[in-house]
Amino acid sequence: MNNFQMALRTVQVTRYVTPLREGGSMPAIAEADDGFLYALKFKGAGQGPRALIAELIGGEIARILGLKVPELVFANLDEAFGRTEPDEEIQDLLKASIGLNLALHYLSGAITFDPTVTQIDAKLASQIVWLDCFLTNMDRTCRNTNMLIWHKELWLIDHGAALYFHHSWDNWEQQAQKPFFLVKDHVLLPWATELEQVHEEFMAILDEQKIEAVIKLIPDDWLEEDSNFHSRDEHRKAYARFLAIRLSHSAIFLKEAQHARSVLI
């Protein structure tokens, strides 16, 4: 019996503060009705709801594994929101994003992680490398680390580029069993000396029940009509199945990460 359950808060977006132009999907800082600021990611942006699904799955699995991720919330955009926005591009984005979007609690004063300035310990580096291999997250490189230093601690952000298989769903069951070759470009790979130990620890924490609990969080309207699936329920089950297969074949991506590191060093 699966007793592991998860839930996300839902907030109402009340004010569009400023765009985060460095993001390709045009995220923004926004204020919600709980009085907090959030980094808001829109379902009407370029990659559509798939990027939000990857963000949701990646962030909550990272949290289950004990890594620091800003709180994720569902952010509701009212139909009237943004009508007075003078920027036509932003106004179009807001109109295309009516309903539930995804937001991360804004870490005010945080600075971008720079490996030449801040060193992190081998255990944490290994944990993040393992996570990104599991999620097939291609976007944690020197060019774009997608990590922040906040109150002297390392926080993970932006998992929207993970699970890239879901942009086509071609041979997805076979994709789940493949090594993550892009690990060779991971910004933390040089310091990931404890991959074997982390692998054992994470395999003891993560299981199919926890994966299914995360997948159940995906809102119905993020699951677009897809000819590969007959229903949204089937679509959800495919995400859970992909991650379950990947977990059961985790020795494959572990070996590739260890090999990539040996070549790098």
**For residue 113, what are the contacts with CB-CB under 8 A and spacing of at least 6?**
145, 147, 148, 149, 154
* Total Cβ atoms within 10 A of residue 189: 23
Can you give the pLDDT at residue 100?
97
CB neighbours of 194 closer than 8 A, spacing ≥ 6?
A: 122, 123, 125, 126
Q: Which residues contact 21 (CB under 8 A, 6 or more apart)?
A: none
Instruction: Tell me which residue of 99, 98, 76 sits closest to 30, measured CA to CA.
Output: 76
Residue 86: per-residue pLDDT: 79
**Which phi and psi (to 5°) does residue 224 adopt?**
-65, 155
Q: Considering only residues 91 and 240, tell me which one the structure prediction assigns the higher pLDDT.
A: 240
100-145 pLDDT per residue, tens: 999 999 999 999 999 999 999 999 999 999 999 999 999 999 999 9
85: pLDDT confidence band, cut at 50, 70 and 90?
A: confident
Q: How confident is the model at residue 23 (pLDDT cuts 50, 70, 90)?
A: low
* N-to-C CA span, the chain: 45
Per-residue pLDDT at 72 exceeds 90: yes
Residue predicted with more confidence, 47 or 85: 47
Tell me the residue type at 41.
K
* Residue 89: pLDDT over 70: yes
Q: Could you tell me the pTM of the whole model?
A: 0.95
CB 58 within 8 A of CB 132: no
Average of per-residue pLDDT across 243-260: 98
55-70 per-position pLDDT tens digit: 999 999 999 999 999 9
* Residue-level pLDDT at 61: 98
> Which stretch of 6-10, 70-74, 155-159, 261-265 has the lowest confidence by average pLDDT?
261-265
Assign 1 a pLDDT band (cuts: 50, 70, 90): very low
Average pLDDT over residues 20-35: 83
Give the model confidence (pLDDT) of 161-210 as tens digits.
999 999 999 999 999 999 999 999 999 999 999 999 999 999 999 999 99
Are residues 60 and 66 in contact, defined by beta-carbon separation less than 8 angstroms?
no
pLDDT at 90 over 90: no
pLDDT score for 193? 98
Q: What is the pLDDT of residue 21?
A: 63
247 phi and psi, to 5 degrees?
-65, -40
The whole-number pLDDT of residue 71 equals: 98
Whether 24 has a pLDDT exceeding 70, the answer reads no
**49-64 vs 208-215: helix axis angle to the nearest 10?**
140
Q: Give me the pLDDT at residue 22, please.
A: 59
pLDDT of 225 > 80? The answer is no
